[in-house]
Amino acid sequence: MYIIDYLWAMKKLFIFTFSTLSLLISCKKEKESIQVSSGNITESVYASGKVKAIDQYNVYSTVNGVLQNIVVNVGDNITKGQTLLEIDNITSELNTQNARVALDLSAENNRKGSDKLEEIELNVNLALEKLELDSSLFFRQKKLWEQNIGSKLDLEQKQLSYNNSQANYQTAKRRLAQLKTQLQNELKRANINYDINQKLSSDYSIKSSINGKVYDILKERGELVTPQTPLAVIGKADTFLLELAVDENDIIKISTGQKALVTMDSYKGQVLEATVDKIYPIMNERTRTFVVEAHFINPPKKLFPNLSAEANIIIQTKKNIITIPNNYIIDGKYVLVNTDEKREVKLGLNDYQKTEVLEGLKESETIYKP
């Protein structure tokens, strides 16, 4: 009796197991399918980047020195030409003072009545008086000689004196002209040297080149400053743009005026719209990307420099076209119809989810997921 019951139980278990296995196999054979339909598709280019203030730039010094004074604070609004930071410039100030002294001395030497000019001008006047006297004596002696009065030796002596006086007068005039030119050149050099030292002195006072806002101060008072060290970050106040990096493979598709859909970690769940304004025509060799600038159409209420952003720049949009999911495509050109029949199709535009079908499928046809 017990043996019969055991055999009957084993028979029921076998039947149950076989039925379950058959059901699983049957379910496995059923493939996922969809009906082909029409819809819209948008081609876009991905770009990542950050928010920047308009005209944002790092402030640098053109001279070496020690940061002596920080005139502004982070968050301050500033005007063009306003002093931001001051660098210790004692040496420069001394050089400027020396240049000013040299300029004043040179100006004094050029002034009429100065000792140098008076000395040379006196020599010129004396040479002129001597020339006039010797000229008078020579021509008087020459006239007497023509009347057979006097000796030839007297005439020659008077002529020699006259010639020497002419040479001395011309030499004195040249010396005066040379001195005037020299003094004028010295004055010009002194002026230039003074201007250079004033300019160098002004370089120790770092000024803003825009009306804007101080976004960051990167150095502390007393730190050493070099021309390679950024000191501060400034830009337009509360006016921002997007700086995006576009891969070299996609840059030829980008044009100014294109729309971009932007997402930001700071505004999760929101899609912001922007417009491409500028494309920088040189590639960054390290990242193999191009810089593209865009502006927000309706910017959010609060933005800060260097916030991260991602954008899809829209290249083109097609409406009411036949599309299929990308995961239904086999080898880039086939789809499954009638469960296991491959059909070649001609594909067009695609995005991350679906692809346009140009030829090979009609609307409402059924295709199967491979």
> Residue 352 belongs to a domain with what CATH number?
2.40.420.20
136-187: pLDDT as tens digits: 888 888 888 788 887 888 888 888 988 898 999 898 888 888 887 887 787 7
Tell me how far apart the alpha carbons of residues 124 and 174 are, in angstroms, rounded to a whole number.
9
Number of folded domains that form the chain: 4
Check whether 16 has a pLDDT greater than 50.
no
| DSSP E strands, 236-266 | 240-247, 259-264
Region 238-245: what's the mean pLDDT?
Answer: 94
Is residue 22 included in any domain, yes or no? no
User: Which range (94-108, 172-186, 310-324) has the least confidence?
Assistant: 94-108
Name the residue range of residue 335's domain. 33-44+318-368
Is residue 271 included in any domain, yes or no? yes
Region 73-99: what's the mean pLDDT?
Answer: 80
In terms of Cα–Cα distance, which of 126, 134, 127, 133 is closest to 162?
134
Is residue 11 included in any domain, yes or no? no
Give pLDDT, residue 353: 82
Judged by DSSP in three states, 141 sits in helix
Cα-Cα-Cα-Cα dihedral sign, residues 148, 150, 152, 156 = negative
184-222: pLDDT as tens digits: 787 788 777 767 766 766 778 889 999 999 999 999 998
Q: Which one has a higher pLDDT value, 35 or 82?
A: 82
276/329 same-domain check: no
100/144 same-domain check: yes
Identify the band that residue 66 occupies on the pLDDT scale cut at 50, 70 and 90. Answer: confident
338/361 same-domain check: yes
96/185 same-domain check: yes
- CB neighbours of 165 closer than 8 A, spacing ≥ 6? 127, 130, 131, 133, 134, 135
Q: Which one has a higher pLDDT value, 320 or 21?
A: 320
First vs last C-alpha separation in the chain: 54
> Where residue 306 sits, what CATH number does that domain have?
2.40.30.170
Q: Dump the DSSP string for 315-354.
A: EEEEEEEEEEEGGG-BTTTEEEETTTEEEE-EEEEE-SSE
Give pLDDT, residue 197: 65
Percent of the chain with pLDDT over 70: 85
Region 17-38: what's the mean pLDDT?
Answer: 58
CA 6 to chain CA centroid, nearest Å? 89
Torsion-angle region of 44 (φ positive above 0: left; ψ -120 to 50: alpha; else: beta)? beta
Give pLDDT, residue 89: 67
The dihedrals phi and psi of 210, each to the nearest 5 degrees, come to -140, 165
Tell me how far apart the alpha carbons of residues 127 and 293 are, in angstroms, rounded to a whole number.
77
Q: What is the mean pLDDT of the chain?
A: 83
Is residue 325 included in any domain, yes or no? yes
Q: Which one has a higher pLDDT value, 64 or 50?
A: 50
51/61 same-domain check: no
Region 221-236: what's the mean pLDDT?
Answer: 92
Is residue 332 included in any domain, yes or no? yes
Identify the band that residue 133 occupies on the pLDDT scale cut at 50, 70 and 90. Answer: confident
Last residue of a domain, one of 203, 226, 257: 203
Q: The tokens of 25 are what? A: 């196999």
Give pLDDT, residue 95: 63
Region 119-125: what's the mean pLDDT?
Answer: 85
Check whether 37 has a pLDDT greater than 70.
yes
93/199 same-domain check: yes
78/214 same-domain check: yes
82/128 same-domain check: no
